[in-house]
Amino acid sequence: MTEELGKEILKEIREINEKLDQINEPRGLSTPMKFIALLFGCMVVGPIILLIMSRVFG
């Protein structure tokens, strides 16, 4: 009985560890966030870089 109980406990601990591993997996940006980042880059960062380049070279 104690051996069966020990095996059952180990099985449940493994299942919990697998769930925790899935939760802790790194995730990338979602597709909408990628589009927002692209728009931010084009609308904000791009003009700032162009302004700096025009001041340096112009």
* pLDDT 10s digits, 41-54: 889 888 999 999 99
User: Tens digit of pLDDT for each residue in 25-40?
Assistant: 777 778 888 899 899 8
Residue 34, judged by CB atoms within 10 A of its CB (0-12, 13-18, 19+), counts as: exposed
pLDDT of residue 1: 66
Torsion 41-45-50-51 (CA) sign = positive
- Domain containing 38 equals 2-57
Q: Which residue has the higher pLDDT, 41 or 58?
A: 41
- The pLDDT of residue 46 is 87
Query: How many distinct structural domains can be found in the chain?
Result: 1
For the full predicted model, state whether its pTM sits above 0.85.
no
